[in-house]
Amino acid sequence: MPRTYLDHASGSPLRPAAFEAMLPYLRDHPGDPGRVHTEGRTTRVAVEDAREQVAALFGSRPREIVFTASGTEAINTAVWGASAGRDGSAHAVTTAVEHSAVRDALERAPVAVTTVGVDGLGRVSADAVLDAISPQTVLVSVQWANHEVGTLQPVLEIVAACRERGVLVHVDACMAAGHVPVDFRGSVADLVSVTGYKLGAPRGTAALLVRRGLRFAPFVVGGAQERARRGGAEDVAGIVGFGAACAELAADGRLDLEASLAWAQTERLIAGTTAAVDGVQVYGDPIDRVPHLVCLGVEGVEAEPVLLGLDQHGVAVHSGSSCSSELLEPSPVLQAMGVDADHSLRVSVGWSTTDTDIDAFLTAFPDVVTKLRALRG
């Protein structure tokens, strides 16, 4: 049975352009970029070329790019850099719908944390975030787009107001990167986390964008790589693949084209499921969202049996966020929104999704839900 992959929000397939760019650095160029011999200089050029490609997509200077091994590491680096050395009287502000990487990093940081709630669409109020800031606030961490329901946040408004107050801002753009424009320079944020593997770069690629002139303590120590901002040997092939994927998205309006196609596919998915099955609703903002992700609430059946039933039909989707499902606990994002946290299904498309993939989901979904409801009744 052919498989249909609709979990791009967890990780998208590797783009062919990224694969081809990586091959020479997997096969022919073993040099450490930190060495001065010819082999080292060859890989150093490749890393810096990729840095320029990533910077071009995200509107930053190449020197503002710090490569990391995951979005989680980028987020931890941002939180650690802003809070390291504090005496416990410092304060941070975040929202109730942040990724677990943000929540967990702040929990162990030497700061008191104020968590701002959201409305029923999963959106935080910019005014509420600003009202939570105190003279002791050293960091505000907000997401660009929610990782479970796709709702876009008022990031630019929050960042601009925090800049006026002299408060450092980290933006988690891991779900937005490669799907909507992320302009680091235009956002005037201090720190922005992005991932490569959600936009078609190899798994294990990500970056923290650090505003020029900002100094922070490195999270990963043990070397002077990344201009002493992240220790450890560089994954040259992965970084090259990340750069190639970003270059493809930045060329000739490709990001806008893919976003338009993703929007059409998810709109068709929403229309088809809600028309074919009673008791299905869309969680999150149906309009002001990232184009590639929708979260469906399915009345009468829990998400896991639906997910497993779809998998038996050859369709891969997800319930909840990619990092919380292993805990087998209700989604904290949906709980914060005040909606049913046990019956959500996250469906996400990407660069390789076809209309045939959407057809497969729309065929399998009614059958799976109908059979599961019959078993309950």
CA atoms within 13 A on the CB side of 261: 14
Whether residues 193 and 121 fall in one domain: yes
Own/partner long-range contacts of 275-284 (Cβ < 8 Å, ≥24 apart): 276/362, 276/365, 276/366, 277/365, 277/366, 277/369, 277/370, 280/369, 283/122, 283/148, 283/149, 283/334, 283/337, 283/339, 283/344, 284/121, 284/122, 284/146, 284/148, 284/149, 284/150, 284/151, 284/337
Average of per-residue pLDDT across 106-132: 96
| Whether residue 57 is found in the same domain as residue 195 | yes
Question: 250, 274, 295: which is the final residue of a domain?
Answer: 250
CATH number at residue 346: 3.90.1150.10
Answer yes or no: do 177 and 313 share one domain: no
Per the structure, the complete domain to which residue 60 belongs is given by 16-250
Indicate whether 135 and 214 sit together in one domain: yes
Q: Which of 162, 174, 246, 323 is catalytic?
A: 323
Same domain, 155 and 239: yes
pLDDT of residue 321: 42
Q: Residue 14 in 3-state DSSP?
A: coil
pTM: 0.95
Say yes or no: 47 and 195 in one domain: yes
The verdict on 244 and 262 lying in the same domain is: no
pLDDT at 320: 60
For residue range 134-149, list pLDDT tens digits in order. Answer: 999 999 999 999 999 9
If asked whether residues 174 and 319 sit together in one domain, one would say no
Residue from 80, 360, 104, 335 nearest 220 by CA: 80
**How many structural domains comprise the chain?**
2
Whether 323 sits among the annotated catalytic residues: the reply is yes
- 340 & 241 share domain: no
pLDDT confidence of residue 322: 43
* 130 contacts: CB under 8 Å, gap ≥ 6: 158, 161, 162, 165
Write down which residue in 203, 233, 250 finishes a domain: 250
Q: How does the average pLDDT of the chain come out, rounded?
A: 94
Same domain for 269 and 245?
Answer: no
Q: Tokens 């990963």 label which residue?
A: 220
With a pLDDT cut of 70, the percent of the chain lying above it is: 97
Give 297-333 pLDDT, tens digit per residue.
999 898 889 999 999 999 999 986 444 455 556 788 9
Q: Are residues 362 and 320 in the same domain?
A: yes
Tell me the CATH number at 241: 3.40.640.10
**Which is more confident, 84 or 15?**
15
End residue of a domain, out of 250, 267, 295 = 250
Q: Do 222 and 270 share a structural domain?
A: no
